[in-house]
Structure formats: structure tokens, C-alpha cells
Amino acid sequence: MTEFHDNSPEAAGLRLSRRGFLSGAAALTVAAALARPNFAFAQDAQFCASLGWTVWESGRHIVAGYEDAVKKLGGTLTIADANYDVKKQADQIAAFVASKPAAIFITPADAAAIAPAVQAAVASGIPIFCGDSYVPNTTVTSTAMSNNFGLGAYGAQYIVDRLKGKGKVALVSLPSNESWDQRTLGAKSVFLRNPDIQVVSEIAFALGGTTTPRQVVDNILTANPDLNAIWCAWDGAASEGTLAIKASGRDVFITGIDGGQQSFEYIQAGSPFALTLAQSFYEMAYMNAFYAHEVIAGRKAPRFVITPSYAVTQESLANIEIPDTYDQPGEAAKIGWNRAL
């Protein structure tokens, strides 16, 4: 049952890095364990999940990953949604610690800000599993997340290649979460090595503020009449930026990070939205729950699992239905997608 409370770019281009291998090995471990008869899982364990958000497609996939894993592997699950409120999430974590569950799952909206709450949770002795972001200055049991630096570098390299090494670029960054900020650092590492790429604007977006991503991109376009491309730290900005570019009639393309139906529809239609790096949110959550069961059973969990990300363009979406389950283990291969990171 589920209860809802509070409602180097070179590395980025590798098909199979060491971390990628570890993630693939982890997925194979899951598959092998589930196929093994009489493989014991904790049927009566109580799990709690404090999620930084459940909105957007990423949130929906995260919730589904936790729910499906607990339904399949056993136990009960209580989910609390912090809705990007740091204090609320810290309070949720403290309340969950007091309830003494078998494990706590955490998707941080602001990992640095909730670090003290996570430190206290770790100190309680309860196994703690993080998804989407690592929490600085803590030693949780396991973290499943994307290669955020690589995601940023990959999108930037795509822009450099498409512009043939010369052009004017703007960035819409998302520094509120340390892991999300790594994407911007990855992008800058690429642009800095290409001196004929001019970064003419960078706007740091604040979630929960009064300015929308659409307004940010409108302002960038107005201030930079010779702009060629916009790199965005997440798909919300890329999607709204697509609308701004179309309204302007400008020949500008835009890239994002996250993946999901809306992004895929824009890309498939040949809009200015040219590339997204689609993350495996479902698999992040599922891996957390799977390894929680492993730890309860006295087995080991990997400290880090780097879940797959896929470079999605109009070409990779040609002649297929928009996929919604690509981030479930094994599903991307069925549509011919190979992990980019």
C-alpha cells in the first residue's frame, strides 16, 4: 500500500564507462535476483520515502519506481512530498526517523540544505538510500543517480558539433541543487575548450521564484539578436524556451536534460528543441528499493549506482511511438536506444 502525505566531453561521449559498467552490473544483479527461486525479500518491512518533488514527469517516474519495487519485492511504503520546501523535507526525514522504518528513501530538492537532516538519519542507524542526487558530507547506504557533469558536457558538445565550433550560446542554469549545478559545470568545461564558442548570457534560474523559464528565454532572445543556441540545465526550461523561440521566429535551437513525453513530442516534431539527455528516474527509485531489501537481508549495496541516460534526438524518435517506459530496466533496448552515459 502507498500513503501520500503532504501531498571531459570525451568522457561524456563514452558508451560504456567504468561507472556505466557498474550501473549495468547492478541492473543485471536485480534481474538475476528476481529470477532466482526462493530468493528472500522483506515482505513485512516498512519503508518511508521523502521526495523533494512529485510533480513533472520526473516526479511521476520516481514515485512509480518506488511503488512498483515495493509492490514486487514486498513491504509497505509511505511517501511524503516536500514540493521543493527544504524545511518541510527536513521535518519529514526527522519524522520518518522517529517512526523507525526498515529504510528511508530520499530524493533531495536541495541536497546541501537537507544534509544535516540526512546526517541525523544516518546516525540513527536506519539504512538511508538517495535518488537523483548525492547529499554532501554524508555517508548514506547507497545513492542511485545520473552522471550530472557528463549530462551537461554531452549537451554542450552537441551544440559545439552542430555549430561546427563557432557561434553564440546562452545558458539557463539551475544552481539550487548541487548535483544539478554539476550539469552547468560540465557544459562550461566544454565551451571553455572551444574558444570560438561565445557564451553571451548565463541566467541562473530559481525554482519557486516569480520568473518563469519562458520569460528567461524571452529575455535572452531579446538581448542577443545573433544567438545560435541555448543550453538548458533541465527540460522545463528547454520546453518553455521552445515556445519562446517559435514565437520569435528565430533560427535558434535549444537542448535540455531530463526526458519525458512532452520533451520527446517537441523533439519528434522537429521543433527548436533538438536534444534532451533522458534520465532513468524510474530505475533510480527501483534500485534504491531493491538494495534496501538486499541490506535488510544482510547483503551488500553499492555505494553509488550510475543509472543510464539516453541522448534523444529527432532521429532516435523517428518511426516510434513516444516512449513512457524507456527508463525501466531493459525497455530502452527494445526501441534501439543505447545509453549515452
Same-domain check for residues 33 and 84: yes
Number of domains in the chain: 2
At residue 116's C-alpha, the angle toward residues 115 and 117, to 5°, is: 90
pLDDT digits (tens, 9 = 90+) for 177-230: 888 999 999 999 999 999 999 999 999 987 766 789 999 999 999 999 999 999
31: in domain:
yes
User: Are 163 and 263 within one domain?
Assistant: yes
Q: What is the largest CA-CA distance in the chain?
A: 65
**57 vs 183, 273, 314, 327, CA distance in Å?**
19, 17, 20, 12
79, part of any domain:
yes
In the chain, the N- to C-terminal Cα span, in Å, equals: 34
pLDDT at 56: 85
Q: Mean of the pLDDT values across residues 294-298?
A: 95
Q: What is the pTM of this model?
A: 0.85
pLDDT > 90: percent of the chain: 81
Does 284 share its domain with 139? yes
| The predicted structure's pLDDT at residue 28 | 54
Residues 156 and 171 in one domain: yes
Residue 76 and residue 154 in one domain: no
Q: Residue 5's pLDDT is what?
A: 42
- Domain assignment of residue 209, given as a range: 148-278
Whether residues 120 and 230 share a domain: the answer is no
**Residue 157, domain member (yes or no):** yes
Domain at 112, CATH number: 3.40.50.2300
What pLDDT shows up at residue 206? Answer: 79
Instruction: Examine the domain organization and report whether 19 and 122 are in the same domain.
Output: yes
pLDDT band with cut points at 50, 70 and 90 for residue 3: very low
In the prediction, which pLDDT does 44 show? Answer: 84
pLDDT at 278 over 50: yes
In the block, residue with C-alpha cell 553564440: 168
pLDDT surpasses 70 at 37: no
Least confident of 16-20, 223-227, 327-331: 16-20
